[in-house]
Structure 1
Amino acid sequence: MSHTVIVVFGKGKEYEFKFTQADLGGQTAEEARRWFDKEFVTLECEPSNPVGKVLIIDKVLNVAKYGGEARFAEAGGWAKDFTRNAALALGRDTVRVDVADFIIGY
């Protein structure tokens, strides 16, 4: 099975990452959610909804936003970790993380 994660920072600013099931390295969805929990704190993200629970979708969007476009443009280790963990945490083969419009599509 292949996975595609596209991170969008506006028109003409799309970064696509493709990987196989083997690239996930046996990681679980729970481990992916923990990665987002850690990055959310490390990047000092502000919750989208100051009242109530922060959902995994909010964490994915905020981590992408606070992580910044430059990391995705470089396509280095952090961006690859982000995309693998996004696919796992959200349980989808194709994920579109639209930071500019603050929405996730499948």
Structure 2
Amino acid sequence: MLYHVIVSFGKDKQYQFRFSQAELSESSPEEARRWFDKEFSELKCEPSNPVGKVLIIDKILNIARYGGEQRFIDGKMWATQFARYTALALGRDTIRVDVEAFNIGY
């Protein structure tokens, strides 16, 4: 199976990542969740839910937003890790992270 993650910051600002099942098997969903927890804290993301409960989807969207597009332009390692862990955490073969609209589509 091939996994495809698209991170979009608006029209003509899309970053695409593809991973094989073998590439993803080097990590686990638990490792992905720990990475998102760490990044959420380090980037000082604000929870989008006023109640304070933060779902993995909220973490992914906020980390992409707070991390910024420049990390996807310059930081290949960080951006690739973000996309890999997104695929692992959500377990879907095609994921679109739309930062501008603040939503995730499958």
**Coarse TM-score class (shorter-chain normalised):** over 0.9
Stretch deviating more after TM superposition (93-102 or 49-58): 49-58
Q: C-alpha root-mean-square deviation of aligned residues, in Å?
A: 1.1
- After TM superposition, the structure 1 = structure 2 runs for residues 79-90 of structure 1, keeping only pairs within 5 Å, are 79-90=79-90
Q: Counterpart of 1:11 in 2: which secondary structure?
A: coil
Q: Distance in 2 between matches of 1:16 and 1:44?
A: 26
Q: Which runs of 5+ in 1 are unaligned?
A: none
Name which of structure 1's ranges 64-73 and 21-30 shifts more when overlaid on structure 2.
Answer: 21-30
**How far has the Cα of 1:75 moved from its partner?**
5.4
Segments of structure 2 that go 5 or more residues without pairing to the other structure are none
Paired residue for 1:64?
Answer: 64
1:5 partner SS? strand
> Where do residues 1-106 of structure 1 align in structure 2 (5 Å cutoff)?
1-74=1-74, 76-106=76-106
Please give the TM-score of this superposition, normalised by the length of structure 1: 0.94
Displacement over 3 Å in runs of 4+ = none
Report % sequence identity.
66
C-alpha distance in 2, partners of 1:19/1:58? 23
TM-score (norm 2): 0.94
Q: Which residue identity is paired with 1:85? A: Y
